A and B are shown apart, each in its own frame.
Chain A
Amino acid sequence: MTQKLVIIGNGMAPGRMLEHLLERAPGQYQVTIFNAEPRVNYDRIMLSPVLSGEKEYEEIIIHGDGWYIKHDITLYKGHKIVAIDRAAKTVTSDHGVTESYDKLVIATGSVPFIIPVPGRDLPGVITYRDLDDVQAMLLAAQSRERAIVIGGGLLGLEAAAGLASRGMDVTVLHVMPTLMERQLDPAAGYLLQKAVEERGIKVVTKANTKAIIGNGKVEGIELDDGRIIPATLVVMAVGIRPNVGLAKDAGIACNRGIVVDAGMQTSDGSILALGECAEVDGQVYGLVAPLYEMARVAASHLAGDRSAAFVHADTPTKLKVTGINLFSLGDFADGEDRQEIVLRDAAGGTYKRLVLKDNRIIGTVLYGETTDGAWFNDLQKKKVDISDMRDTLIFGQAFQGGTPLDPMAAVAALPDDAEICGCNGVCKSRITNTIVSKGLTTLDGVRAHTKASASCGSCTGLVEQLMAITLGDAYNPTAVTPVCGCTHLGHDDVRRLIKAKALKTIPAVMQELEWKTSCGCAKCRPALNYYLVCDWPDEYADDYQSRFINERVHANIQKDGTYSVVPRMWGGVTNAKELRAIADVVDKFEIPLVKVTGGQRIDLLGIEKEDLPAVWADLGQAGFVSGQAYAKGLRTVKTCVGSDWCRFGTQDSTGLGIRIEKFMWGSWTPAKLKLAVSGCPRNCAEATCKDIGVICVDSGFEIHFAGAAGLDIKGTEVLGLVKTEDEALEHIVALTQMYREQGRYLERIYKWAKRIGLAEIRRQIMDEADKRQAYYERFVYSQKFAQVDPWSERVSGKDKHEFRPMASVGFADAAE
């Protein structure tokens, strides 16, 4: 019979427990989760990469909403449980929801410790625990002012590095003489401090905070020695405490944590506890590996197998700050019965220390060079007698057994049960077996199926080596990346073969190049469609069903399924008639948002798909054509007012911009193409971060290209100086055509230029007049087929099925 399982808390431990439980005993429990945080289960270990900007929140979600729906799990988001009634076997949330249980799992995690100093409640003092804290820090970081992190442990240093990379001036205050003293000995702590300081982060050790000062908000910190350090943000990362209040109130036995036995059972037979709130055999845990072990044990007890037992194991510590490698494991305090082996390379920044007792490793500290961590971990776990290799032990696995092993052989020599991924407890054989059984060839595939290197990522190198060993020549990380899973060919090969074999349709490409799927996928089809349009402009009619939706309906899809519409404003110039027409359309269709874009045009947002043709018809009446703000093609040519108006203008930048836009609109390019023309080097049109830009000077026109101001920020490179407007146009068009013919689909011009080489591009466009002329003419020819306004076509009835539902059923008025 189905039993009711209620879980309080939705962190990584209960999430993992549910995965095991659903695998072992599907359908045994009807599951309800109460999560005090208003969101799904995410990877808390990865908050630091989110803070530093290396990851997005979406990338660290473990279970999306769909997962809960699929497994029929009720998830109450933002519900904090306020009471457990053990007699009635119910829990009640702060929103008044009461749920009964047969089995209850408490996974309330931990709460950050707040040092009891005056000023701790001031706005601007935060902890580092969940996504809300990260968001608060990101918001504060926008000011680029001063921040103080209290606590030089793992979390504190990750917070400091994240805030520093966001542009804040960061000081770390640490009460002990060296950083991370619980994981590192003083020597490694010193090296770490140097590395942190090299990143521009100030470190103050032996710093006792006396008070947080400020009038209404944080203004700084006063130390015991009287020093005052100003700051607008204070992050407390001094430690965590198991969150046991709820269990204690319910009369469940608690010490530091909720007391559980090796089967995760609390003092109440119907209640289990796991995660950071649980205390097993006098120990509480904060690293993920033991918490995942608890999850495995708890799941197996819930599934009815009572043999599983939690056993304490030391867990290695790693710091997730890019560029700092450290590894620490076990006990490294000095003692009479202990010996140590130390290797130092001051200049190289390497430090290794092994602590031995009875010829066995009991502690390891590695700084700078950590690749042998897995091997030392294995030796320690298995209590291997190291007498025979004592002389060379510190040099690592490569130096054992006579001949030095290369790193690959070292990984190959690891035993099958050696732990590779500490976060997820994945051993070597699990990875190699999965690679073989699932036929995996990519790192992403291994991550998806084994979870190895999917949490903190510090074992990625090891996993890649295992892939290389298992797959042999079949694994080549530097090999050409295929266009997608439908082919083994890369973009360049596909482009070359389309020309060489004169392939002129998508089915022909797929047939001749031996595509592995019947009709491609959403990655390769739009790419092939572009290549064919570009290579056979007069012969190939593009495949409508292979366009991305925006290019199919000539508007930009928004998150709610409505569309945005951007009419073309040549060179950013408009007039009263056009503005009046836009205003009328906004009123008539009740368009919710009108927004000026960065490309000097007007964006109308929130339009229903069915209304698009009517909106276009009205805009067309006023002379507007599509601004193609959705296209992998020419978007805008941004201009300044130039010599006609500006007292500094040297040329007619507005006129040149309009001329370029009128010449080039409609053509498809590998990725979007944004241009700008500035009338003088003051560069008001921001031409030096565009795909192609022009800076007008007294002596002519300086042509720039390969800038970026999106995911990457990059100033442009100079292509060259030309004397006349005609020459400027010819060079820009030729450059664009060269990019059209060589670029990979979705590859922006700056990436293409990096791949081809700036010198080569300058040579072909600036120096070889014949080449330039030929590119120019091929572009001009292709424009004969490209310069058709898609909006007026659709207003006249093209693709009209696209804008109407096929049917409306079940409504009263449609019933007959």
Chain B
Amino acid sequence: MNWIAIGKLTDIPLRGARCVKTPQGKIGVFRTAENQVFAIEDHCPHKGGPLTQGIVHGTSVTCPLHNWVISLETGEALGADEGSVKTISLEVRGDEIFIALEEQLMAAE
């Protein structure tokens, strides 16, 4: 695992999201009303909608394309829908946010 700094907590609006580009695709970093931060793939399991563009509520986000609700904690679709996205390990040290990328992802360069 490689911990990489991606920016400050305050770069993300409360109840909002930003995206981080990686060679493997986009990762969404979400900040809840309670100041929790989560990172998941920015790709809805339903039709691949960009989850970072959705509305963040509680510890979930609603996909802007067809309103699937995805748990930021588990990456699982909530309600009657089935599907999941990968969650990405994340740490907040001070006000810096770090995400863990796998070795092979780094080695891809």
Contacts and interface: CB of A to CB of B under 8 A. Distances in A.
A477 interface: no
**Most chain A CB inside 10 Å of its own CB: which residue of B4, B6, B26, B82:** B82
Contact of A545 (B15, B22, B84): B15
Interface string B45-65: 111111001111110101011
A190 interface: no
Nearest to A448: B80
A42 B100 CA distance: 38
A545 B106 contact: no
Interface in A752-810: 801, 805-810
A561 B50 CA distance: 6
A557 B20 CA distance: 19
A806 B15 contact: no
A545 B18 CA distance: 12
A548 interface: yes
Nearest to A561: B50
Nearest to B76: A70
Interface string B76-109: 0101111110000000000000010100011011
Contact of B82 (A70, A519, A521, A526): A70
A520 B20 contact: no
Contact of A548 (B60, B64, B83): B64
A490 to B, nearest CB: 20
Nearest to B68: A66
A517 interface: yes
B105 A806 contact: no
Contacts of B109: 810-812, 815
A801 B22 CA distance: 18
Given A66-B84, A67-B83, A805-B19, A525 B6 contact: no
A64 interface: yes
Contacts of B16: 545
A522 B83 contact: no
A66 B77 contact: yes
Given A518-B33, A545-B55, A808-B21, A801 B11 contact: yes
**Most chain B CB inside 10 Å of its own CB: which residue of A545, A549, A809, A811:** A809
Nearest to B5: A807
Interface in A672-704: none
Contacts of A448: 79-80
B58 A518 contact: yes
Given A806-B6, A807-B6, A810-B101, A517 B21 contact: no
Nearest to B7: A806
B54 A70 contact: no
Interface residues of A, number: 39
Contacts of B33: 518-519
Chain B interface size, under 10 / 10 to 19 / 20 to 34 / 35 or more? 35 or more
Given A806-B7, A807-B21, A809-B101, A544 B13 contact: yes
B1 to A, nearest CB: 13
A463 to B, nearest CB: 16
Nearest to A812: B109
Given A522-B54, A806-B20, A808-B21, A66 B45 contact: yes
Interface in A447-495: 448-449
Given A545-B16, A806-B11, A522 B45 contact: no
Nearest to A454: B80
Contacts of B15: 519, 545-546
B47 A559 contact: yes
Contacts of A557: 50, 53, 64-65
Contacts of B79: 448
Contacts of B72: none
B82 A525 contact: no
Interface string A35-70: 000000000000000000000001000011111011
A806 B26 CA distance: 11
**Most chain B CB inside 10 Å of its own CB: which residue of A70, A810, A811:** A810
Interface in A86-121: none
A65 B15 CA distance: 29
Contacts of A67: 82-83
A805 B20 contact: yes
Contacts of A805: 18-21, 26
Contact of B84 (A70, A548, A807): A70
A292 B77 CA distance: 26
Given A519-B57, A522-B67, A549-B53, A809 B18 contact: no
**Most chain A CB inside 10 Å of its own CB: which residue of B14, B26, B45, B66:** B45
Contact of B65 (A63, A66, A519, A559): A559
A63 B46 CA distance: 11
Given A807-B6, A808-B21, A809-B6, A549 B64 contact: yes
Nearest to A804: B18
11 contacts: A520-B57, A521-B57, A521-B62, A522-B55, A549-B54, A550-B64, A561-B53, A805-B21, A806-B11, A806-B19, A810-B22
Given A519-B58, A545-B16, 13 more contacts: A64-B81, A66-B45, A66-B46, A70-B82, A448-B80, A517-B57, A520-B57, A526-B55, A548-B64, A561-B49, A807-B20, A811-B22, A811-B109
